């Protein structure tokens, strides 16, 4: 399946086998920045057979890693999972506010799929009771009620007509089957999407960034080396993310309904008191009541009014 590899450390053989393109480096400014630049240079294009291409960008160290709302993401080599995944989706889907909230949720569910699969593959066992994994709306991975990691989703325009042809010749196009990309005229119908996923794999307790965060090795015994775990998890995310997004492209109404049902069962936020710090400014405090068909969150505020939260940073208070 692999057609082009950036020759660099670290080695990630499982991910190389699963992804269409792997960029693996010791240090980058940000894996999201690298993925975004490669999309802007025309290195990731939609395919004629409509199969979603997936590129993975991994690094041991990020010098300018970032999360939601511009927060810094700091990592120590050998302790963290810092991988970005990029694909191209129909622009109509990615910009439709009635369904596009499920794009990021699909990445969260793919992360849960892959972490669980990797833990099973290495025969890992829980150290503590109730070490279950869950999603905190809208973008965090939780373990034992603590933040294990987060997801940052960004849209990236594809280069204008003709731009991609000037970008490094044939190597600019990712195509595992040897097919040509879609025509220049059709390219305007697509947009790049980057999912930056950060997970604490082997971060020591004293190095955790906040009292509300955690690391996988604090809850699980029998883990492999963190770099091996990163490779296993990244490879699993590629496969699960491709499958989930392809279903969303092929049947958005049906897959949105399926994702709603699945996410409700995995959502740590529901039934808890939250504080939503809105991207537009202001906060909403209250009880998280429901996940809605458009992936928004219904919160009953302290005055008893139902508020619909579409985006922002939600902290669980109790």
How far from chain centre, in Å, is Cα 18? 16
pLDDT at residue number 239: 97
Select the more confidently predicted residue: 256 or 3. 256
Give me 53's structure tokens.
């291409």
Give the chain's mean pLDDT: 87
Specify the pLDDT at position 165: 41
| 87-96, 180-189, 306-315: range with lowest mean pLDDT | 180-189
What tens digit of pLDDT does each residue of 8-19 get? 467 899 999 999
Among 40-44, 168-172, 266-270, the range scoring the smallest mean pLDDT is: 168-172
pLDDT class of 189 with cuts at 50, 70, 90: very high
pLDDT band at 74 (very low <50, low <70, confident <90, very high): low
**Domain chopping of the chain, boundaries:** 4-263, 270-316
Q: What is the pLDDT of residue 155?
A: 96
The pLDDT of residue 73: 54
The predicted structure's pLDDT at residue 50: 78
User: Cα 168 to chain center, whole Å?
Assistant: 28
Q: Is the pLDDT of residue 167 over 60?
A: no
**220 has a pLDDT exceeding 60:** yes
* CA dist 141 → 30, 135, 179, 305 (Å): 20, 5, 36, 28
192 token code pair: 């790049």
pLDDT digits (tens, 9 = 90+) for 113-147: 999 999 999 999 999 888 899 999 999 999 999 99
Q: Which of 259-291 are b and which e, b meaning 16 or more Cβ less than 10 Å from the residue's Cβ? A: bbebbeebbbbbeeebebeeeeeeebbbbbebb
Question: Does pLDDT of 169 surpass 50?
Answer: no
Q: Decide if domain 4-263 falls under CATH 3.30.930.10.
A: yes
Model pLDDT, residue 278: 78
Considering the entire predicted model, what is its pTM? 0.88
- Residue 35 — pLDDT band, cuts 50, 70, 90? very high
Asked if pLDDT for residue 315 goes beyond 90, the answer is no
User: What is the percentage of the chain residues whose pLDDT exceeds 70?
Assistant: 84
C-alpha–C-alpha distance, residues 233 and 113, integer Å: 9
Q: What pLDDT score does 65 carry?
A: 56
pLDDT at site 164: 43
Work out the average pLDDT over 239-268. 97
Provide the pLDDT confidence category of residue 176 given band limits of 50, 70 and 90.
very low
Residue 294: CA count within 13 A, CB half-sphere: 12
User: What gap in Å lies between CA 220 and CA 217, rounded to an integer?
Assistant: 5
Convert the pLDDT of each residue in 79-120 to its tens digit. Answer: 899 999 999 999 999 999 999 999 999 999 999 999 999 999
Q: Which CATH architecture fits 270-316?
A: Roll (2.30)
């Amino acid at each position: 399946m692999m057609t082009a590899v950036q020759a660099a450390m670290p080695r990630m053989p499982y991910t190389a086998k699963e992804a269409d393109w792997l960029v693996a480096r010791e240090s980058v400014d940000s894996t999201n920045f690298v993925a975004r630049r490669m999309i802007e240079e025309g290195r990731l294009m939609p395919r004629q057979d409509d199969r979603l291409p997936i590129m993975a960008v991994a690094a041991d160290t990020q010098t300018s890693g970032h999360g939601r709302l511009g927060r810094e993401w700091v990592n120590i080599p050998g302790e963290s999972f810092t991988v970005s995944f990029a694909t191209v989706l129909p622009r109509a889907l990615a910009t439709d506010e009635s369904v596009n909230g499920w794009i990021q949720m699909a990445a969260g569910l793919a992360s849960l799929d892959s972490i669980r699969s990797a833990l099973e593959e290495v025969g890992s066992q829980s150290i503590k009771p109730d070490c279950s994994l869950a999603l905190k709306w809208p973008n965090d991975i939780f373990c034992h009620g603590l933040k294990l990691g987060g997801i940052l989703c960004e849209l990236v325009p594809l280069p204008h007509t003709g731009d991609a042809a000037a970008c490094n010749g044939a190597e600019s196009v990712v195509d595992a089957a040897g097919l040509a990309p879609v025509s220049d005229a059709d390219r305007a119908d697509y947009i790049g999407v980057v999912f930056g996923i950060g997970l604490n794999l082997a971060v020591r307790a004293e190095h955790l960034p906040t009292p509300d965060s955690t690391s996988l090795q604090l809850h699980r015994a029998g883990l492999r080396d963190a770099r091996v775990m990163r490779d296993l998890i990244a490879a699993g995310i590629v496969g699960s993310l491709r499958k989930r997004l392809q279903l969303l492209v092929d049947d958005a109404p049906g897959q949105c309904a399926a994702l709603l049902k699945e996410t409700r069962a995995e959502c740590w936020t529901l039934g808890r008191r939250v504080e939503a710090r809105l991207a537009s400014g202001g906060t909403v405090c209250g009880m998280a009541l429901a996940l809605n068909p458009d992936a928004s969150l219904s919160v009953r505020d302290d005055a008893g009014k139902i508020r619909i939260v579409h985006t922002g940073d939600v902290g669980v208070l109790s």
